[in-house]
């Protein structure tokens, strides 16, 4: 498992390109923010799982992608 961090560089977290998290998994996402990390499986290499650190000291902005405009976070 790879552990990715920003090395002191500000990050924009792009959420939901593959899965509509705001529409279907908002509770999961907020639990991940509380825990401080997200595990992400590589869709091209199923064996590769990366641990992405997500806490306010690392993330400057979160961008949500959704097709369900009525479900607001």
Q: What residues does each domain of the chain span?
A: 2-64
Alpha helix ranges (H) inside the chain: 21-24, 26-35
pTM: 0.71
Residue 45 or 1, more confident: 45
pLDDT digit string, tens, across residues 37-67: 999 899 899 999 999 888 888 888 888 888 8
- Mean pLDDT of the chain, nearest integer: 82
Q: Is the model's pLDDT at 2 over the cut of 80? A: no
Six-digit token string for 68 = 């369900």
Q: How confident is the model at residue 31 (pLDDT cuts 50, 70, 90)?
A: very high
């Amino acid at each position: 498992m790879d552990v990715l961090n920003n090395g002191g560089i500000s990050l924009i977290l792009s959420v939901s390109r593959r899965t509509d998290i705001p529409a279907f998994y908002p509770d999961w996402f907020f639990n991940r923010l509380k825990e401080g990390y997200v595990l992400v499986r590589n869709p091209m290499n199923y064996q590769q799982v990366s641990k992405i650190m997500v806490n306010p000291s690392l993330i400057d902005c979160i961008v949500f992608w959704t097709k369900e405009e009525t479900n607001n976070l």
